[in-house]
Amino acid sequence: MVKVNLDLAKELIAGAEKEAEKIGVSMVISVLDEGGNLIAVHRMDDAWLASIDIAQNKAWTSVALKMPTSNLEEATVPNAELYGLNTTNQGRIVLFGGGIPLESEGKVVGAVGVSGSAVAHDVQVAQAAVDVFNKK
């Protein structure tokens, strides 16, 4: 089983940053371990300050709920079964894409969270980090 540590987090961040540069956006990239503990956070030059917290919370949401944050979008709109979920857990639950769990041998072992652009870009950059992880 792959363990998420600082060396691995640096590799994931490098892969995500390369993708962010390719699409021309400055991002914040966070990597957490299976317990939701911060391993690394990387803020590219000129990335939004607000994205520091958002990226970490996207990763935390993915670890806590063992799913990509994008999976929550439809279930949390008004009148849907999980409406209001974002008001739980001291507001740490993020309901839009950019957080993706890292899985090894069928178990969530960490997550990456990305923030700094349109949601589609956040997901694209987060996926680049996951792609690096999946090659381990």
Which residue has better confidence, 74 or 37? 37
* Over residues 20-28, mean pLDDT: 98
User: What domains sit in the chain, N to C, each tagged with a CATH number?
Assistant: 6-134 (3.30.450.150)
Query: Is 109 a residue whose pLDDT tops 90?
Result: yes
* Over residues 80-87, mean pLDDT: 89
* Over residues 80-102, mean pLDDT: 93
Q: Which two tokens stand for residue 15?
A: 């892969």
| Mean pLDDT for the chain overall | 96
H or E segment to which residue 126 belongs = helix 119-134
How sure is the predictor about 25, in pLDDT bands with cuts at 50, 70 and 90? very high
Query: Is 74 a residue whose pLDDT tops 90?
Result: no
**Cβ neighbours of residue 121 under 8 Å, at least 6 residues apart?**
20, 23, 25, 27
